[in-house]
Amino acid sequence: MVSSTWGNGPEGHLLIRAPALVALVRELFEQHWERGKQLRPMTAGETGDERGAVLELLMLGSKDESISRQLGISLRTVRRGLL
């Protein structure tokens, strides 16, 4: 089962049964998982709201510069704050 949500569309799920498609989705997941970076631990006083907002905007496809402007934080914070 995979999410069928794209952009701001309605939420939903797709059930994939074809073995070739299941293998493809799994391989894509594994490749992205391997390239992922671990988030740095939160510092004292940090609520996670900033990190969550940045992650949400990244998930929606926003560029670093756009996220910086929208959240009123520096571009360096957007790029380095999650690592």
pLDDT tens column, 9-64: 677 887 888 999 989 989 998 998 888 877 666 666 566 677 788 888 888 888 99
Hey, what domains does the chain have and what are their CATH numbers?
1-36 (no CATH), 41-83 (1.10.10)
Of the candidates 51, 50, 53, 79, the one whose C-alpha atom is nearest the C-alpha of residue 65 is 79
**pTM of model > 0.75:** no
Rounded-to-integer distance, Cα 80 and Cα 70, Å: 17
- Tell me the β-bridge partners of 14: 2
Instruction: Provide the pLDDT for residue 8.
Output: 65
pLDDT at 75 over 70: yes
